[in-house]
């Protein structure tokens, strides 16, 4: 049995069966961050969602047959502004926050993409694409700027499904005398002496935001790619303008499947700068293991709004505890079967193949854990291997179970592992000496610190609650 993947295509507005142009070279591009600050949890949602898609595609088509690019925008007006405010060189600031982004996403167990193109390394490709658009009558030069003429494209607006008039009425567009039409967008703009710039046929300047992704996709993945992902907020204008550039420059469809994740709300309110409710991933990681954050992001369908809250994080931790308890067992020290592979009709695979239904896949993980808890010893190796393999598709259960339970207590004043081990050994000595009062006293002392003891055939095991 082969596994058919279906994805909701924003362009068609329907769920479609995914058929790659070339099954030996499946292409996926996801818009990465503009690196002028630490990323917030909303930035992490597409990374985690499309990491699951990347894992699924690799499982179906093979690790060597999936090419995944996620860019770094390292030249932008926001970066210029932040560097000026910090008194820092632009390239130093962007490099610092690009590293921080990589570190934060690694903490969420996101696989590194096949390619991580940086915008500043592709300015020549951007200039070449802009020149092609001018030659084909889709762009024009005006006062040192080059703009895309949206009226030159008959079906401009088909991704966001809005007319030109609706776009102008509903969007903030720069009103400039050099524009032939208010909705025309910038491909190239001039730079002042104190701004970064590159020489071009239109003078010293720098690229607009939208042209960056189109040029990098063309260089690394091709004129037409299989899947383009990103947040719902990018549909217009960024992805709409990408389509215009790619289709008009190459006379092709550019992207075959457009896939977008939904927004994140914080405690029931939209995350926004005005409300001051941004939750930085770096700050959250000081209080929660990265797997808890990842699990929370996967707990609802990627296209649905997600309410990010303390309750959600507590539920994620409790669910992970249940799964890790199943892996830990009751002191049996079971080694997973080495030759296990997931069949194509496995519930977790089927759930993910239905437009990345991660919540259903998580329910299937709990079903496997339930069977593992009740299984005879002879069946446990295969079930443990099944749980680990299925969880791997979601990027979950990468910790050692014992370390998972013992590594939770990082709060100030919490007992460290060495102190707990010493108390456990003292309790064991007390039990051997039949000093049960002292043994109970130690158990109570540890319980007051959130440490739970479990006596097994292989000795006493402890975990943090």
pLDDT tens for residues 434-460?
877 777 766 876 776 667 877 776 677
> Looking at the structure, do residues 340 and 436 belong to the same domain, yes or no?
no
Domain that holds residue 431: 410-464
Tokens of 424: 């456990």
105 lies in a domain?
yes
Q: Report if residue 119 sits inside a domain.
A: yes
- 313 and 444: one domain? no
Q: Are residues 108 and 147 in the same domain?
A: yes
Within a domain: 296: no
233-264 residue pLDDT tens: 999 999 999 999 999 999 999 999 999 999 99
Strands (E), 223-370: 225-231, 255-261, 264-266, 269-270, 306-308
Domains in the chain, number: 3
User: How does pLDDT run across 305-336, given as a tens digit for each residue?
Assistant: 999 999 999 999 999 999 999 998 876 788 99
What is the domain-level CATH number for residue 150?
3.40.50.620
Residue at a domain's end among 246, 266, 286: 266
Q: At what angle do helices 417-432 and 436-448 cross, to 10 degrees?
A: 160
Same domain, 437 and 390: no
Asked if residue 415 and residue 400 are part of one domain, the reply reads no
Query: Is the same domain home to 454 and 314?
Result: no
Distance between CA 282 and CA 100 in Å, rounded?
8
Last residue of a domain, one of 358, 387, 404: 404
The model carries a pTM of 0.89
Boundary of a domain, candidates 404, 422, 443: 404
What does the pLDDT look like over 31-49, one tens digit per residue? Answer: 999 999 999 999 999 999 9
177 and 32 share one domain:
yes
Same domain, 320 and 442: no
In a domain, 299, yes or no: no
Task: Note whether residue 290 is domain-resident.
Answer: no
In a domain? residue 350: yes
- Taking the C-alpha atoms of residue 306 and residue 402, their distance in angstroms, rounded to an integer, is 31
Q: Which residue has the higher pLDDT, 84 or 409?
A: 84
Classify residue 283: in a domain, yes or no: no
Residue 353 maps to a domain: yes
Q: What is the CATH number of the domain that holds 391?
A: 1.20.120.640
Q: Are 93 and 67 in contact (CB under 8 A)?
A: no
Asked if residue 133 and residue 209 are part of one domain, the reply reads yes
Tell whether 388 and 248 lie within a shared domain.
Answer: no
Between CA 402 and CA 324 the distance in angstroms is 8
**Residues contacting 413, CB < 8 A, separation 6+:** none
| Three-class secondary structure of residue 90 per DSSP | helix
- Do 163 and 260 lie in one domain? The reply is yes
- Taking a C-beta distance cutoff of 8 angstroms, is the pair 343, 59 a contact? no
Q: Is the pLDDT of residue 126 over 50?
A: yes
Q: Helix 310-328 to helix 380-394 angle, to the nearest 10 degrees?
A: 150
């Amino acid at each position: 049995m082969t596994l058919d993947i279906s994805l909701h295509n924003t362009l068609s507005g329907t769920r479609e069966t995914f058929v790659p142009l070339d099954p030996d070279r499946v292409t996926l591009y996801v818009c990465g961050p503009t690196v002028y600050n630490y990323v917030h949890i909303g930035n992490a949602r597409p990374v985690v969602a499309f990491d699951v898609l990347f894992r699924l595609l690799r499982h179906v088509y093979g690790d060597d047959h999936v090419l995944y690019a996620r860019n770094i925008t390292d030249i932008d007006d926001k970066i210029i502004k932040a560097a000026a405010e910090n008194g820092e060189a632009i390239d130093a600031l962007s490099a610092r926050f690009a590293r921080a982004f990589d570190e934060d996403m690694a903490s969420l167990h996101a696989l590194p993409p096949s390619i991580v193109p940086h915008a500043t390394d592709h300015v020549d490709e951007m200039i070449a694409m802009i020149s092609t658009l001018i030659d084909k009558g889709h762009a024009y030069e005006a006062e040192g700027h080059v703009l895309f003429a949206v009226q030159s494209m008959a079906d401009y607006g088909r991704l966001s499904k809005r007319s030109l008039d609706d776009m102008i009425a509903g969007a903030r567009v720069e009103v400039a005398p050099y524009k032939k039409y208010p909705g025309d967008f910038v491909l190239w703009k001039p730079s002042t002496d104190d701004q970064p710039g590159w020489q071009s046929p239109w003078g010293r300047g720098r690229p607009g935001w939208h042209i960056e992704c189109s040029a990098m996709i063309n260089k690394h993945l091709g004129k037409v790619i299989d899947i383009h992902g990103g947040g719902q907020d990018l549909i217009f204008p960024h992805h709409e303008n990408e389509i215009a550039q790619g289709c008009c420059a190459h006379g092709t469809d550019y992207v075959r499947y457009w896939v977008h994740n939904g927004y994140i709300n914080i405690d029931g309110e939209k995350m926004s700068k005005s409300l001051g409710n941004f939750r930085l991933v770096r700050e959250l990681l000081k209080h929660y293991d990265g797997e808890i954050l990842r699990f929370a992001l996967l707990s609802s369908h990627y296209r649905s709004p997600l309410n990010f809250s303390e309750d959600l994080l507590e539920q994620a931790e409790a669910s992970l505890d249940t799964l890790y308890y199943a892996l830990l067992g009751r002191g049996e020290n079971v080694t997973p079967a080495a030759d296990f592979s997931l069949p194509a009709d496995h519930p977790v695979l089927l759930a993910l193949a239905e437009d990345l239904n991660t919540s259903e896949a998580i329910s299937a993980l709990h079903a496997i854990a339930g069977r593992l808890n009740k299984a005879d010893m002879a069946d446990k190796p295969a079930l443990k291997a099944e749980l680990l393999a299925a969880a791997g598709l979601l990027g979950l259960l990468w910790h050692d179970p014992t370390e998972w339970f013992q590594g939770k207590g990082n709060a100030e004043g919490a007992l460290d592992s060495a102190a707990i081990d010493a108390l456990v050994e003292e309790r064991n000595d007390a039990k051997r000496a039949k000093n049960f009062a002292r043994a109970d006293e130690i158990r109570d002392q540890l319980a007051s610190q959130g440490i739970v003891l479990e006596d097994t055939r292989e000795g006493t095991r402890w975990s943090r609650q």
